[in-house]
């Protein structure tokens, strides 16, 4: 169980965060492709928090959400308030590689892979929550 676990918001703790998230993901997904995709999403979100939020801490949740029948990822930080979902850059994956902008790929990936994303800052912290349904390519192993 990974519920609101506090980590220092520093790059050197990123491997530990991703290992703990992936350990939880593996309880619900057995397909390596989906395990990897969810790791990629988590990394993209965490790197943005670590690099840009100015928060000293990040709080990580990865747990089953019964109401959504999904794995729920929540990333909270105490940095400057910023809603990454407000302006999601458009990425045209059909566009020629030589004309591509190299920015925005991270948020493109996690908004594409996840089924639902929410942001709130009601308590003065950034909370980015992402849901991945268990029956979309995943195996339901543990409730």
Partner 1 sequence: MANYLIEIGEVSKIKLHGHIDASIAPALMEEMKPLIEQKDKVKKLVFYADELEYIASAGIRAVVFAKQKIGGKVQCYLVGASETVLDVFKMTGIDKFFTVQDTFTE
Q: Which stretch binds partner 1 (CB under 8 A): 58-66, 77-85, 100-108, 134-142?
A: 100-108
Question: Considering beta carbons, is residue 64 or 91 the nearer one to partner 1?
Answer: 91
97 binds partner 1 (CB under 8 A): yes
∠ CA 55-37-35, nearest 5°, is 105
Give the one residue of 5, 26, 27, 39 binding partner 1; rule: CB under 8 A.
Answer: 39
Angle between helices 14-25 and 32-52 (to 10 degrees): 150
Give the one residue of 28, 29, 44, 58 binding partner 1; rule: CB under 8 A.
Answer: 44
- Taking the complex as a whole, the smallest distance from the CB of residue 124 to partner 1 amounts, in Å, to 27
Give the one residue of 7, 20, 40, 57 binding partner 1; rule: CB under 8 A.
Answer: 40
Q: Which of 93, 4, 100, 105 is nearest to 48 (CA)?
A: 105
93 binds partner 1 (CB under 8 A): yes
- Taking the complex as a whole, the smallest distance from the CB of residue 98 to partner 1 amounts, in Å, to 5
CB burial of 122-143 (b: ≥16 within 10 Å; e: otherwise) equals eeebbbbbbbbebeeebeeeee
Residue 128, beta-bridge partner list: 75, 119
Per rule CB under 8 A, count of chain residues that contact partner 1: 29
Hey, how many other C-beta atoms are within 10 angstroms of the C-beta on 82? Answer: 16
């Amino acid at each position: 169980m990974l519920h609101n676990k506090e980590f220092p918001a520093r790059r050197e703790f990123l491997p530990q965060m991703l290992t703990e998230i992936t350990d939880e993901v593996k309880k619900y997904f057995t397909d390596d492709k989906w395990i990897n995709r969810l790791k990629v999403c988590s990394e993209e979100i965490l790197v943005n928090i670590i690099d840009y939020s100015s928060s000293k801490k990040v709080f990580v949740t990865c747990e089953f959400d019964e109401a959504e029948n999904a794995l729920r990822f929540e990333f909270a930080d105490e940095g400057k308030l910023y809603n990454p979902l407000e302006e999601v850059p458009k990425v045209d994956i059909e566009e020629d590689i030589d004309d591509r902008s190299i920015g925005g790929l991270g948020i493109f990936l996690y908004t594409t892979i996840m089924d639902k994303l929410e942001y709130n800052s009601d308590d003065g912290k950034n909370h980015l929550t992402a849901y991945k349904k268990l029956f979309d390519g995943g195996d339901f192993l543990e409730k």
